Amino acid sequence: MYIPIILGTAREGRESEKVARFMLEKAIEFGLESEIIDVRNFRHEATDNTKTSDQARRFKEKVLKAEGLIIVSPEYNHGYPGELKMMLDMLYEEYSGKPVGICGVSSGVFGGARMIEQLVQICVFLHMVPIGEVVNFSRVQDLFDENGAIKKESYHDRARKFLGVLTGYAETLSCGKDAKS
């Protein structure tokens, strides 16, 4: 099952990259085919016709192949990064019926909770199916050691639970699509 991870910020010094790498490791351990889709690799000018750009075509191929998506995004000023919004806006129909799990990242205690609330609304509008399970990475600056390993063991269990729920949705929604065919 292919479920890629969208890394939703291009900011220099981003702590979210550590979270995305951790989630990639957990996804592979869980038996998933996965990769990090970095917004840095899909940037475009705001005035580009995003539906036909090279970035949109490359992103479309990955989303069409995916049976679900994981979004790892920091919370910036109670919201999600603009480059993530621009990337998501490249597509529309391609998301239809795909489950999406969201991992929030913040330097504060809420782990991106307010960003997740906003992003869920956008995912619903794009006809994705947000799962109820989330992983909030609070105080991210203190969560990883100098080698990028997570310090708190509880995140391993949280990630496994999250992936279990996400793959359950992916299997169920996939069966529904097969029944309609």
pTM: 0.92
DSSP alpha helix (H) spans, 12-135: 16-29, 54-65, 82-88, 113-125
Q: What is the CA radius of gyration of the chain?
A: 16
Tens digits of residue pLDDT in 80-122: 999 999 899 989 999 999 999 999 999 999 999 999 999 999 9
Which domain CATH number covers 155? 3.40.50.360
Could you give the number of structural domains in the chain? 1
Rounded mean pLDDT of the chain? 92
pLDDT band at residue 66 under the 50/70/90 scheme = very high
Range(s) of the domain holding residue 84: 5-180
What is the share, in percent, of the chain residues with pLDDT greater than 90? 82
Q: How far apart are CA 46 and CA 49, in angstroms?
A: 8
What is the 8-class DSSP label of residue 138? T
| Residue in 127, 33, 25, 125 with CA at minimum distance from that of residue 72 | 25
Partners of 99 in the β-ladder: 129
3-state secondary structure of 77: coil
In 3-state terms, the chain is what percent helix, strand and coil (to 5)? 45, 15, 40
Query: Could you give the C-alpha distances from 18 to 3, 155, 157, in angstroms and in order?
Result: 18, 13, 17
| Residue in 101, 112, 49, 48 with CA at minimum distance from that of residue 76 | 112
pLDDT for 149 equals: 95
- Residue 64 contacts residue 95 (beta carbons within 8 Å): no
Residues 122-127, mean pLDDT to the nearest whole number: 96
